[in-house]
Amino acid sequence: MVRAEKVHKSFGHVEVLRGIDLEVAPREVMCVIGPSGSGKSTFLRCINHLEKIDAGRLWVDGRLVGYREKGDKLHELRDKEVSAQRRDIGMVFQRFNLFPHMTALENVIEAPTRVKGMGKQEARERGAELLTRVGLGDRIQNYPNQLSGGQQQRVAIARALAMEPKLMLFDEPTSALDPELVGEVLDVMRGLAETGMTMVVVTHEMGFAREVGDTLVFMDDGLVVEAGDPRQVLTDPQHQRTQAFLSKVL
């Protein structure tokens, strides 16, 4: 579902990604951990071309992301073409990014009606189903400021699912939440994994990575340092840098 080859990304003189090679199979849940500044979130944003890569190749579902290849040269796609690619990729951010002037239901149906041209009635029915699925069936008419952080993040997940994506990206979805609200969001993500959704999750929640992840990737300084079965990486890390990081967070 995702294939990265030698992906590089710099901001000015700072090289944030220094040659990422990764593959995510369909239905796989890949959890990505690592210290702040290691390039985790940047890599996630490159997958749906929110950040343009400087070198290498990225494919989602067999299609090159953000570019068209002719011979051995890459030509950047037009904004409209990139937007069409993003329809298949759902993303949930640290901050919920909900429209404050819209109800939970209106937030969820905005993209399907505007981007996909779905009829209002169908979108409303589908939106209500999704909000029920994330445990918010009784909150569909509430505005974001009437919801807790955990509830807002669950609305954000329902909004991403409304576009029926093939792939879901989560960028530290619980890091902005109070500790007691983390579980309700992780429960929704756990349920998504059980349905077979392909997911790449940047997270600090090691318990979630151990229980739900199929693969655990440790990144540091713009590189993949170690990757493997989550239980094995967490209990018996092979790389010294992984050992040092886990000794501080477990």
pLDDT, position 72: 81
The pTM of the full predicted model, rounded to 2 decimals, is: 0.95
pLDDT, position 73: 84
Q: What mean pLDDT is predicted for residues 13-33?
A: 98
Q: What mean pLDDT is predicted for residues 144-172?
A: 97
Q: Tell me how far apart the alpha carbons of residues 248 and 35 are, in angstroms, rounded to a whole number.
A: 10
pLDDT digits (tens, 9 = 90+) for 108-147: 999 999 988 999 999 999 999 999 999 999 999 999 999 9
When the pLDDT of each residue in the chain is averaged and rounded to a whole number, the result is 95
Q: What mean pLDDT is predicted for residues 78-97?
A: 91
With a cut of 90, say whether residue 185 has pLDDT above it.
yes
Q: Tell me how far apart the alpha carbons of residues 61 and 43 are, in angstroms, rounded to a whole number.
A: 17
